[in-house]
Structure 1
C-alpha cells in the first residue's frame, strides 16, 4: 500500500505511502466500500461490461484494478502511498523511478551525477516537452521545488530539510522565498541539488528523485501560493509531462485518464486508462469477467484465498513478486514502554504458521525491515521464534498483570490481515495479553499514525529494497514518529547509511538496525508478502512486477 516520504534532516524524509510508498506501504488493501459501490461506479470510457478492448469509437481502453483508495491527485497534497504517487506520475513524471530489476530508470531526467555526494547534477532529457509543446526546463524544476517546500503548502510528507536553503527542522523554505540556494538552475536543462551533509547517490535517487514531481511553472506561477493545495486545475490539468492526463476521478471508485497524444516519449497506444478502485473481494471476479485487466503488486490487495483461483484463470498471466510488501506492526512505545512486553508480543504468535496457512506460503518471516529481496539481507538474523512459554516468562519479569487491554488497529480493506490479526489476538490471549482488534479504513488508520490513540497498528509497507533508510528514520525517529521510539545505535547507523554506496558497508549497517529493532521491538513484521499480480492476456508490453509497471506505459497495447 504504502511508501511514505518521511521527514528530512534529523528525521530523513522518506513515501505513501507505500504505503505503503511505498511504500513505501505496498499492496495495501483499500478502504472498506459499501456493497456494490465499485461495480456501481461510473468509470469514464469503460464498456458496458467494463472490459478491456475497444469502445464503439474504436478507442482502446484498459482498466487497472486497485484496492487502495485515492487520497489526492494534487502533487502538493499527496502523501506517498503508491496509488497517489502513480496517479500523479502518469501526469507529471518523476526524475527517475525504480525499474523492475531494482535499478533506476530515468524518466524526466536522462542523467544524475555527483562528484562529492553533496552536489547532485540533474540533467533533464533534451527531448522532454510539456503536452502543449513547450520545453520542460530547469526553471520548471526549481520553481516546483520552491512551491513544494512552501510553508503555506506545508505538506508533511514532502519535507526537504536536507537541502541547502530549507529549514532543517520544518523542512520548508521561508515564507515569501523566491529561490532556494540548494536547488539552482545551471542552464536551461540542468539543475543542481545541494545537500547540507553528504548523501549517497542511492538515497538521493530513491528517496528524492523518484518522488519529486516537476510541474509547469507557466501554470502554477499563476496560482496563489496559498491556493495550490485546493486549485481545481489539478483535477483536470491541460499541461502535463507524462503519458496521460486526468479527466475525472472519485477517491473511492475510479480515476479516469486520456492519453497525452503529444507525449514526448511517444503517444500511448491505449487511448483511455482507468484505475478502478475495488473492494479486495471483487478482484477475482473482476479479472475473470475482464472488467479489470491489470492488478498491481503494490496497489492491489488480493485475498490470499483467491490466489489459487486467479492462478487458474485462462485469461490472465500471473506473476508473484519478490517479497517486499511488509505487513508491519507498529507499537506505540509510549503506551507499551517495557521492551520485554514488546518482545513477548512477538514470541506469543506463530508467524510462520500464518504465512503457511493464510498466505499459502507466498511470503516469509523476518525481523526488522530488510527482506530477502534486498542486497543487504542478513540471513544470520534468526527471527524470533514462536515460544509462548518465553512470552509468559518475559511478561512475568515485566510485572504484566493482564489487566490492560491493548488496542490494535488494522486496515479493514486488507481481509487477509484482518484474519491474521484475529489469530494473533487469540494467541496473545493464551499468554495473558488482552488485545482488542479494531478495523478502520486506510484513511482513518493513516490519520492515527504518529499519535498515541493506539497501542499497536498494522499496515502493509514497502521498504525500498535498495534504500529503506529514509523510511526507517521516519518510523523510528523519536516521540513524533509512529512508534515514539529512538535509539542512538540506529541513529548512528542511519547517518552512515545515507553517506555510502558501498554494498558491504550498507549490509553491515542495516544488520545493526535490524538487530536493534529485534531487541527493542518498536515494530515487528507479521510477515512479508510475495504479492500476486495479474495481466489480461489481451495486453502486450505490460511487465508485471513490484516496480517499473508504469515506466513505459505508452508501449502497452491490446492484442488485435
Structure 2
C-alpha cells in the first residue's frame, strides 16, 4: 500500500467520521398526544404548546425553564407610576416565517384578537385586564390596563398570548407561521409533526437543524421506541414502571422534575347529584391518593388537596381537609339523600395517568357506593364532549397550565363551579402587585376550593424525562406546557 493510498484512506475515514458527527443535528422526540391543531391562540390542548411554544411561536415575554418571566419579542418594557401602562420595546429586524416583518401593528392585532368578544382563545381571561393596545411607532407598543395586574407580564408569556400576523392568523391551525427559531415543516396526521431551523431567525441560531415530534400514547410502545432508538427523547415519559430499566442503562439520562400539572378527578358541579356539597365531600373522602400514585404512577407524584403546585411558595398543605375515610364517605352519601349509592360515568382521555388512575378511582368509589361506568375517549372527543359541551359526570385530567387557579372563577368553565367569595379573592389577586399580599390571597383561594371539594384533588404530576445521555438542553421541570428546543444540542 502506498503512502498516497494510506493518506487517501485516512482522509476518507476522517470525512466519514466528520459527517457522522455533523449528522447529529436532528432529534426525534416522543410525545403522548397528537394536538387537535397547531394554533396555541385557539385551543386549550397542552399538546399544541408542547410542539410550538418557543419553537415556532413567541410572545412579548416568555416563561423560562425556572418559571421566571423573560424578554422575548419585547427586548424591554417599562411600567408607569400608577402601574396601569406598560410600554413594550420590540426587537428590530424580526420577521415571520413567511418573510413579512413584525411590527407594533401585529402586537395590537394579536392582543385585540385574543380579547375580542368573538375570540376563540381558550385563555381569554388572561387579557381581561387590558383596556387598550396602541402602536406608538413601528417598534413600540403601549398597553393600558383597566386596573393594576400583578400577573400581567407572566400572562403575556403563556402560549395563548403569542404574537401572530393578520395575514396568516386564520391558517395557523394547519400551517403555523410564527417568528420563532424553528419553522413548521410537515404534519403526518396520526404520526408526527416536523419542524426545521429558521435560517432567518432574529435571535441566536439553534443547534438543531430538524426536530420531529412523534405521537406515542401507549406506554409499552413509548418504552420500545426509546430502547430501539426510534426516538431519542421522551420529555414526558408515559411509562413510569419502566423508569428503573432506563436508570440502569448508561445510554440514557433519567431526569425527574416537577410540573404545573394538578391531576384531578374533575367533577361537573352543575350536574346533579354533583351539585351537592355532601356528594363531592363523599368523593373526596373515598379517594386514596397514595394508592392512586402508587398504582397508576408507580410512586411518582405528590398528593395535593387543592388546585395548586406544591413547589410554589404560596402552597398550602390541604390533603387532610378530606382524609381517606370510606365510612365517612358512605355517611355523607346518605346525608345527601343517596343511602343506596349513585350510578355515574367517568370519561377517561388517553394519558396513562387518566386511564390507569381511572380504574383505581372507579374501584375506590365503588367501595363507598358510587358505581362508575368507565368510558375511554380520545383527546379530541374529550375536548368536544367534556371541555366544550360539559357533557360528563366525572373525568380525570392533568391541568398543566401555569398558576391556573383562576380558572375556578370562570362561570362558563367545564367544572361549572360558581362561588362569589372565590371570585372576589381572584379579583383582588389580579389587582394586587405585592408578592406577600398575592401569596396570602392564593392561600385563601386554595382553602376555599378544598373546603368546597370542587374536584377530587389527587396529585401533582411529576415530569419524568428520559433521553439519550448525549443530549443536553431539555428542561428538567415544566413551568409551562413546552418542549423548548432552543438550547438543545448533541454533545457527542
Q: Distance in 1 between matches of 2:205 and 2:145?
A: 36
Of 524, 527, 548 in structure 1, the residue corresponding to residue 459 of structure 2 is: 527
Given that 1:330 and 1:524 are in contact with CA atoms closer than 8 Å, whether structure 2 keeps it comes out as yes
Of 387, 400, 407 in structure 2, the residue corresponding to residue 471 of structure 1 is: 407
Of 339, 346, 350 in structure 2, the residue corresponding to residue 401 of structure 1 is: 339
Of 366, 380, 383 in structure 2, the residue corresponding to residue 429 of structure 1 is: 366
Q: Distance in 1 between matches of 2:156 and 2:280?
A: 33
- Check if 1:214 corresponds to 2:163: yes
- Structure holding more helix per residue: 2
Q: Please name the residue that 2:253 is paired with.
A: 317
Aligned-partner SS, 1:369 = coil
Cα-Cα RMSD? 2.9
Matches within 5 A, 1:415-454: 415-447=352-384, 448-454=386-392
Matches within 5 A, 1:327-476: 327-335=263-271, 336-379=274-317, 382-402=320-340, 404-411=342-349, 413-447=350-384, 448-464=386-402, 467-473=403-409
Q: Distance in 2 between matches of 1:427 and 1:457?
A: 15
Bigger Rg, which one: 2
Q: Shift of residue 155 of structure 1?
A: 4.2
Aligned-partner SS, 1:322 = strand
Matches within 5 A, 1:108-507: 108-115=73-80, 116-126=82-92, 128-130=94-96, 135-149=101-115, 154-158=120-124, 162=128, 182-200=132-150, 203-211=151-159, 212-216=161-165, 219-220=167-168, 228-229=169-170, 231=171, 235-236=174-175, 240-281=178-219, 282-296=221-235, 300-335=236-271, 336-379=274-317, 382-402=320-340, 404-411=342-349, 413-447=350-384, 448-464=386-402, 467-473=403-409, 477-478=410-411, 480-507=412-439
5+ residue gaps in structure 2?
1-17
Cα deviation 1:412-431 (Å, max 9, x = unaligned): x2224322222221221221
Q: Shift of residue 463 of structure 1?
A: 4.3
1:334 to 1:216, Cα distance in 2 relative to 1, 3 A: closer
- Per the normalisation by structure 2, the TM-score is 0.86
Question: How many residues end up aligned between the 2 structures?
Answer: 469
1:187 to 1:398, Cα distance in 2 relative to 1, 3 A: same
1:161 to 1:266, Cα distance in 2 relative to 1, 3 A: closer
- Per the normalisation by structure 1, the TM-score is 0.76
5+ residue gaps in structure 1?
1-52, 166-181, 221-227
Given that 1:142 and 1:191 are in contact with CA atoms closer than 8 Å, whether structure 2 keeps it comes out as yes
Q: Distance in 1 between matches of 2:304 and 2:34?
A: 28
Matches within 5 A, 1:504-519: 504-519=436-451
Cα deviation 1:332-377 (Å, max 9, x = unaligned): 1222121011100111121122223433332111111112111211
